[in-house]
Structure 1
Amino acid sequence: MRIAGAALNQIPFDWHHNLRTIRLAIEQAREAGVELLCLPELCLTGYGCEDLFLTDWLPEAALEYLQQIRPWTEGICVAVGLPIRQNRITYNTAAVLRDGQILGFAAKQFLANDGVHYEPRFFSSWPAGQVGKVEWKGEEWPLGDMVFEHNGVRFGFEICEDAWRTDDLRPAARLRGRVDLIVNPSASHFAMSKTDLRYKLVLNASRNFECTYLYANLLGNESGRIIYDGEILVARNGHLLLRNQLMSFKEVDMEFVDVDFSTPLERAPEITPLPEPDEYRELNQALSLGLYDYLRKARSKGFVLSLSGGADSCMCAVAVAEMVRLGVAELGAEEFMRRAGSFTEEEILRLSAPAPEPTAAGPKDASLEEPTGGQQTVNQQLTRRLLTCAYQGTVNSSDDTFNSAKALADSLGAVFFNWGIDEEVKSYVGKIEHALGRPLTWETDDLPLQNIQARVRAPGIWMVANVLNCLLITTSNRSEASVGYCTMDGDTAGSISPIAGVDKDFVKKWLRWAQAELGYEGLAPVNGLQPTAELRPLEEKQTDERDLMPYVLLNRIERLAFYDRLSPRQVLATITQEEKSTDPELLKTYVKRFYTLWSRNQWKRERYAPAFHLDDYNVDPRSWLRFPILSGGYQAELNAL
């Protein structure tokens, strides 16, 4: 039997879009001679509908729209994910359709309730071994824990989280010996190195339960924060039969393989490991796809960035350039622009036209051209159209950061503006000095004088974003979010915060990787700088780590505290054991500083722009880590240290 999975890039309750991609996947599968096709979890509604799953109308609408899919299934068996609601209870199901008929609905038995997932808020678990029914306009279909048959092949379901439970609890334990094939429609979020876990999960399941296992994941930035890698896996008795390329820019990635179910296949003695994951490359692909989907689904014209010349803003700029490079490489310039929705027809025709032949005198030196010069590559021209940057300097800004920002923007092809904000800063300071009847000084008013500089930068860059109808990128990283090392309504102002899920140490390492491996030589200046906010007078030589602590230690404390869920005492004991060369009293100071700043700044994390989930955890209260805005602030626990 030729079986297939299709990764779909969906949008929550965008019925027209979701039905179109479902139909395209079915048509591609039928043309390829596929007999059984698995589509991702909740692909009809989209996975990220949140509390709309608790309404009556959304599941009712999904069941109504499912009827449109029925005639598309002539000659093929298709699994389509959608919610079913009965008696004010919603179930996460996969409908099985064939030859225009609905054969039944397999229901999810285990719900994800950790990390980024809150499924028990929306859905109820289906009891193992039970079968109910779905009624609709005089028709009736079975619902629940079932085995299906197609062309002599028996198959059952695990839906995403079902497969992540122990082998004695998961549905596969009851399907062993009863089916030839287990089908898994999934909405499994991206995190660096997670594909390795998924690969082992699928291959081990096929070996341990002596079956063929078909897995199909969602694709892209579906609803804002969570990115799906579109992984499709087929394994049989521990042998890998199919694995696709992840993070496709396509809306539909349909992949198939032929399986001879009549011939026994020897059980693999062990699972062949994947090569060591390249997390820098994984992050690059996820950021690129996440930004592209956010851009087009938000119906925006591009991105605007306050490019300070520091590590965070430079990473955001390169991420937009990589979005262009990777998207054009896969889709071609014309399709990339059409899908983006940010370009006029005239722009599409002009920018996708073949480059003119060199003259007899030979091509010009591109380095001598202005940013708008004809020698720019297509990718640079597209980047220029999609990315506008501005350096907003003060007397506390250095030539180093200006040169870093300008060199990078020019090398990427981005629009680059440069203006000063000293006049605006002086105006605000003067007004407050007049109101208070005293001067503001660095000795008495350090933080206000720092914050006003960051805050004054926001109105101008917001205005540029509004004028251009673009998304304003916020450049905060996870380490800054943890300790509130940011100015609300200043450097946190923006529509999207793409790297807020990544720690500062990783940002610095990623930039060095991007320079060496991707060839972004424009990153050389920033890779030679110490991270600094540049808000105090230059003679003070302000750096982030001097204000806070070494980023490596900050990240370690953060992970122990909130990923490993240790108490302050346990965190201190762990890092004291690990950092034997560091003064224990200094480590205690760092632990106290971290927890104090963390507790004090939860309100800031509540107000961050939407952030991508990229690592195995983040500190966004709306997608991973909830914490009270008002609390005891670990006072008793820190005093006990």
Structure 2
Amino acid sequence: MACRIQIAQLNPLVGDVVGNATRIIDWSVRAREAGADLVVFPELALTGYPPEDLLLRPEFIQRVETALERIRAEVAGITLVLGYPLRALGGLFNVAGVLRDGQVIAEYAKQHLPNYSVFDEKRYFQAGATPTIFTHAGLRFGLSVCEDIWHDGPTRQAAEAGAQILINLNASPFHAGKRTAREALVARRAGDHGLTILYANLVGGQDELVFDGASFVMDRSGQVIARAPGFGEAVLTLDLDDAGIPVNPDPLDSEAPLEDEASIYSALVLGVRDYVRKNGFSGAVLGLSGGVDSALTLAIAVDALGAGQVEAVLMPSRYTADMSNEDALEQARRLEVTTRIIPIEPAFQTFLGMLEPVFAGQPADVTEENIQARCRGVILMAISNKSGRILLTTGNKSEMAVGYATLYGDMAGGFAPIKDVPKMLVYRLARYRNTIAPVIPERVLTRAPSAELRPDQTDQDSLPPYEILDAILRLYIEEDEGIDAIVARGHAADVVRRVTRLVDRNEYKRRQAPPGVRISQRAFGRDRRYPLTSGF
């Protein structure tokens, strides 16, 4: 055996350079004690990803440099491959550095800087241009960083420079289907260039992004021979023989990719857990209505934080059906969460009385509906402020798209777990969660959805059926299709025009919405940045 390598699938905290350095040192020491002589950490593991405009602060870069000095001083007897920003040649580079016994023996600068979707690395970094090869245990290793593997050039350069093994450091964010696409791409690189590829991916939630881990080893034929679990910190261990061929990968590290619903649900749980914990909240509170959106959100919150850290608040109005309260209480009982019942009628009546002179002679309309939602928002925010628990909003992507939400009402809150989950997917995820344990009452999954803000209201009073709505929204938002193209797909022209008009006119609402977990290739927020005022 030439060497033993560990891939350290780390969940760093963005900006906590000192804390991240401590964890890198601890993980390196444990790897050495486990018999490894090389340990690989993900892209920008020292700073967390993405550090965004922290990279523009000289003090931040100084902390990185100080932390690197500390790592070099405190880690011996094992080689580290580590991602960090490097200030050099009058610029800043996203690098993979090789540290051994107090020395930096090699550094590779990322060549392809992504500047699309959720990425804007050209704002901060300069691009490298050349391969880097280092020798360890008689084997020749090449380096690349994340986006580099999606382009053939850097892998070809490494192979032509004599690499036998390519180490690719990643901070690759999750979206549905990403893992399959990722492994297929790396398989082509391995097969085309005859390289063993070690793919080390970050894990954890960072604001709207979730990094799913699932680091893996690809042999020279393009077969995955070892894979770390997804959505959690892990260590992947492998041995290389004298020819650089992987031998005896730990079978416990080989996990089949999760199916879509399972992986999406895991991403939502991880995103909520890390947002709450990394931002120092004591737990979460949410409004539980008896509908499917709040039911799914409650299940995610409990799975992320534990039942003891979650509080559910029922806020019935004059329009709330008995079965809504019954189903909400039943789910809370099944999940064993603390529940409060605070009727909004006294507050609603007070507001109507205060506004009576203003509303005199005018019929009731959406204004009165919004007042009810805002009564609930005030109650929930008060509980959040007093308890230190973050308020989770429960709106889904379909609602956010067409503005079917109330500013300062049901949109009030600190984090929106299902903000990027279309309504039909909400139902699929709820049913998936019930396959683990039946925590969501069946009636919640079968009754017609309703905001219950007026008598006998259902969502389809003012929206197309969700099967149709979600299909149009996917084409318009995620695939950038125009109205004519969507109509050509078989959708009614008047419905398409109405839906797209709703999307366009409600950009101002989405700008004021809390962040939420990204699970699609085009989420509201970092992905989709449209002007509030537009004549398009």
- Normalising to structure 2: TM-score of the pair? 0.94
In structure 2, the residue matched to 1:148 is 134
Matched residue, 2:237: 256
Pair 439,386 (structure 1): closer, same or farther in 2 beyond 3 Å: farther
Change (3 A) 1:85 1:432: same
Q: CA 1:569/1:424 → structure 2, altered by over 3 Å: closer, same or farther?
A: same
SS at match of 1:489: coil
Cα gap change, 1:263 to 1:4, in 2 (>3 Å): closer
Deviation per CA, 1:130-156, whole angstroms, max 9, x where unpaired? Answer: xxxxxxxxxxxxxxx321111211111
Query: Map of 1:10-89 to 2, 5 A cutoff?
Result: 10-86=12-88, 89=91
In structure 1, give the amino acid aligned to 2:531: P
Quick check: 1:26–1:72 contact (8 Å CA) kept in 2?
Answer: no
Q: Equivalent residue for 1:512?
A: 431
| Aligned residues of 2:269 and 2:303 also touching (Cα < 8 A) | yes
Tell me the CA shift for residue 58 of structure 1: 2.0
Q: 2:506 aligns with which of 597, 601, 621?
A: 601
Amino acid in the other structure paired with 2:485:
Q
Offset from partner CA, 1:446-479 (integer Å, 9 cap, x none) = 1101111101111111111122110100111111
Which residue of structure 1 lines up, in the alignment, with residue 534 of structure 2?
A: 631
Question: How far does residue 602 in structure 1 lie from its aligned partner after superposition?
Answer: 0.5
| Structure 1 segment 206-285 matched on structure 2, within 5 A | 206-221=190-205, 223-237=206-220, 238-248=222-232, 250=233, 253-262=234-243, 277-285=258-266
Which structure has the bigger radius of gyration? 1
Q: Deviations over 1:363-395 (max 9, x none)?
A: xxxxxxxxxxxxxxxxxxx50x21111111111
Asked if residue 447 in structure 1 is aligned to residue 373 in structure 2, the reply is no
**Aligned 8 A contact 1:196 1:277 in 2:** no
Q: Paired residue for 1:535?
A: 453
Answer whether contact 1:284 1:322 (CA < 8 A) is retained.
no
Among 267, 281, 284, the alignment partner of 1:303 is 284
1:271 alignment partner in structure 2: none
Which of 122, 127, 146 is matched with 1:160 structurally?
146
- Cα distance in 2 for partners of 1:415, 1:106 equals 52
Taking the aligned partners of 2:168 and 2:284, their CA distance within structure 1 comes to 37
* Equivalent runs, 1:415-426 vs 2, <5 Å: 415-426=338-349
Contact 2:142/2:165 (8 A) holds in 1: yes
Q: How does 1:453-464 map to 2 (within 5 A)?
A: 453-464=372-383
Sort the Cα spacing of 1:48 and 1:247 in 2 relative to 1 into closer, same or farther, 3 A: same
Residues 308-333 of structure 1, C-alpha deviation per residue, up to 9 Å, x if partnerless? 11111111111122225xxxxxxxxx
Give the secondary-structure state (helix, strand or coil) at the position aligned to 1:158.
strand
Structure 2 partner of 1:186: 170
8 Å Cα contact 1:56-1:85 kept in structure 2? no
Q: Distance in 2 between matches of 1:220 and 1:46?
A: 10
Moved more, 484-493 or 171-180: 171-180
Deviation at 1:521, TM superposition (A): 4.3
* Amino acid across the alignment from 1:519: A
The answer to whether the 8 Å contact 2:165/2:244 transfers is no
Aligned partner letter, 1:544: D
Which position in structure 1 is the counterpart of 2:297?
Answer: 316
**2-side partners of 1:485 and 1:291: how far apart?**
23
2:534 aligned with 1:619: no
Q: Which 4+ runs in 1 deviate beyond 6 A?
A: 263-266
CA–CA separation in structure 2 for the residues paired with 1:590 and 1:618: 22
Aligned counterpart, 2:494:
589
Is contact 1:397–1:534 with CA below 8 Å preserved after alignment?
yes
Which residue identity is paired with 1:56? Answer: P
Q: 1:595 to 1:191 in 2, by over 3 A?
A: same
1:87: how far off?
5.7
Q: Is the 8 A contact 2:112 2:147 kept in 1?
A: yes
How big is the shift at 1:205?
Answer: 2.1
SS at match of 1:176: helix
Q: SS at 1:3's partner residue? A: strand
Residues 504-526 of structure 1 deviation map (CA, whole Å, 9 limit, x = unaligned)? 110012112222x1122442231
Matched, 1:93 2:95: yes
Once the two structures are TM-superposed, the CA of residue 70 in structure 1 deviates from its matched residue by: 0.7
Unaligned runs of 5+ in 2: 248-254
Secondary structure class of the residue paired with 1:452: helix
Contact 1:403 1:525 in 2 (8 A): no
Separation of aligned partners in 1, 2:78 and 2:245: 25
Q: State how 1:311-460 maps to structure 2 within 5 Å.
A: 311-324=292-305, 382-383=306-307, 385-436=308-359, 438-442=360-364, 446-460=365-379
Corresponding residue of 2:410: 491
In 2, the alpha carbon distance for the partners of 1:481 and 1:468 equals 27
- 2:489 is paired with a residue whose SS is helix
Distance 1:277 1:470 in 2: 31
Aligned residues of 2:217 and 2:224 also touching (Cα < 8 A):
yes
User: CA shift at 1:210, angstroms?
Assistant: 0.5
Q: Cα distance 1:275–1:31, how it changes in 2: closer, same or farther (>3 A)?
A: closer
Q: Output the TM-score relative to the length of structure 1.
A: 0.79
User: Which residue does the alignment assign to 2:251?
Assistant: none
Task: Give 1:263 shift.
Answer: 7.0
Q: Deviations over 1:19-77 (max 9, x none)?
A: 12201221121112212221010111111211121233322321221011113442221
Contact 2:72 / 2:103 at 8 angstroms: preserved in 1? yes
SS of the equivalent of 1:213 reads: strand
Whether the 8 Å CA contact 1:193–1:279 is kept in 2: the answer is yes
What is the number of equivalent residue pairs in this alignment? 526
Whole-angstrom distance in 1 between the partners of 2:452 and 2:502: 21
- Check whether the contact 1:391–1:418 (CA below 8 A) recurs between aligned residues: yes
Aligned to 2:252: none
SS of the residue 2:115 aligns to: coil
Unaligned runs of 5+ in 1: 130-144, 267-273, 325-381, 577-586, 635-641
- Once residues 263 and 53 of structure 1 are traced to their aligned partners in structure 2, the CA distance between those partners, rounded to angstroms, is 37
The answer to whether the Cα contact below 8 Å between 2:25 and 2:75 also exists between their aligned partners in 1 is no
For the residues of structure 2 that align with 1:154 and 1:71, how far apart are their CA atoms?
25
The one-letter code matched in structure 1 to 2:178 is: K
Shift of 1:287: 1.8
Cα distance in 1 for residues equivalent to 2:351 and 2:103: 69
- 1:258 match: secondary structure: strand
Tell me, in whole angstroms, the C-alpha distance in 1 between the residues paired with 2:55 and 2:104.
Answer: 22
Q: Is the contact between residue 139 and residue 244 of structure 2 (CA under 8 Å) also seen in structure 1?
A: no
1:631 is displaced (CA, Å) by 0.9
